[in-house]
Amino acid sequence: MSKVNQHPLASHPAIQNFRKYLQIKSVQPNPDYGACVDFITGQAKELGLPIKVHEFVKGKPIVVISWEGTNPNLPSILLNGHMDVVPVVESKWKYDPFAAEIDEKGNIYARGAQDMKSVSIQYLEAIRYLKQNGVKLRRTIHISFVPDEEIFSADGMALFVKTKEFKELNIGFGLDECGPSSNKDYVAINSERLTWTLEIVCTGNAGHGLMLIPNTAAEKVQYLLNKFLKYREEQSKKMKHPLYDLGNVTTVNLTKIQGGIQSNVIPSKITMIFDCRVTPSDAPTFDSQVKQWCEEAGGDSVTYKYLCRKDPIVPTTKTDDSNPFWKAFESVFKKRNDNLVVITCPGATDARFLREVGIPALGISPMPETPFLLHDHNEFVNAKTFLDGIELYKEIISAIANVE
């Protein structure tokens, strides 16, 4: 007899809620946001809290549940999560990635289990507990569910923070996602590397493939590849911890190269695409370094530009006594005797848009002793770990929402 879904915690109400949310196929490129809105609306009704659904772009809803504080004039707290998840290769999964099966160890397998439906449900369950137990919080809490974080957020948080509806929320501090840690540490992020997708076009003399023609596009490509790969090697040497240190180095990776029309014709143009994740400390000088390399490679015959959105340099959320929200956040971990590690996020989350408009924000996904499976096959979170995270959020939300 199969032991799937027979684990004792499978019947826990919070686990059942979590699994229902995971079973919604909000997978890019065609996420079922309508089912998400229906689910979240049901949660708001159960909690007895008002809900607003904004649709600034058709088919891209932004949902906000609000719990008014005892002093609603104070800047509020935003608990943010995204509804969408990345695609899957189903043949690589142990279980159906949208069935949210729980095995005999209590591991819940589903796309979005770590990134980041778990966190959104933990917000809701923590607030459910606080509200049912008569807890009153000084500041208003807003729980947001946004679209398209996995495709760069243009119609999600990036747009939302520019609207009058967002400004009316009067946000003073925000929480968002992070990632798991392989040990007992809790990992939080207070800044993020900048995503700069770089396109470099090299042009040169063309001709027959049997010739040794000077000044070809390929020679310029070789020069630039040598520069980028040497830089990549130098950055790699700075790392000691594969997760904690990744956000403190700049990564450059050649992800696409194209050119040429036929095997015996020397191409007049070759285009390279580099995925560049630039740490805040390198950001002020990175562009000038690229410009110098391109000039050295071929002057006017080598051009570059940044594709999509070039993330701006934004303030880092302070983790010292000058930030009362940080002090409240940190105090929870000190009280619990838990080790908290603050890092620069190696990827990108929606918290960067909050920081961009001057709102301090931290990211945390409470998943200690959990393998890092964001965007990977067989993504899972353990049921006990998930429930422990709810306990942590009860304390965090109470602490930051009662900052004077």
**Runs of H (alpha helix) within 216-311:** 217-237, 283-298
Is 282 a residue of the active site?
no
Q: Which of 136, 134, 108 is nearest to 122 (CA)?
A: 108
Joined together, the tokens standing for residue 311 give 């993330």
DSSP string, 362-376: EEE---TT----TTS
Strand partners, 198: 274, 306
CA dist 59 and 29 (Å) reads 12
Structure tokens at 343: 């890092």
- Cα(297)–Cα(183) distance, rounded to whole angstroms? 45
Active site residue 84: yes
With CA atoms as reference, report the closest residue to 86 among 25, 33, 36: 25
Q: Is residue 273 exposed (0-12), middle (13-18) or buried (19+ Cβ within 10 Å)? A: middle
CB-side neighbour CA atoms (13 Å) of 152: 10
Active-site pick, 115, 125, 149, 192: 149
* Closest among 229, 209, 217 to 259, alpha carbons compared: 217
CA dihedral 103, 108, 109, 111 (to 10 degrees): 170
289 vs 129, 253, 285, 294, 304, CA distance in Å? Answer: 52, 16, 6, 9, 12
Enumerate the active-site residues. Answer: 84, 149
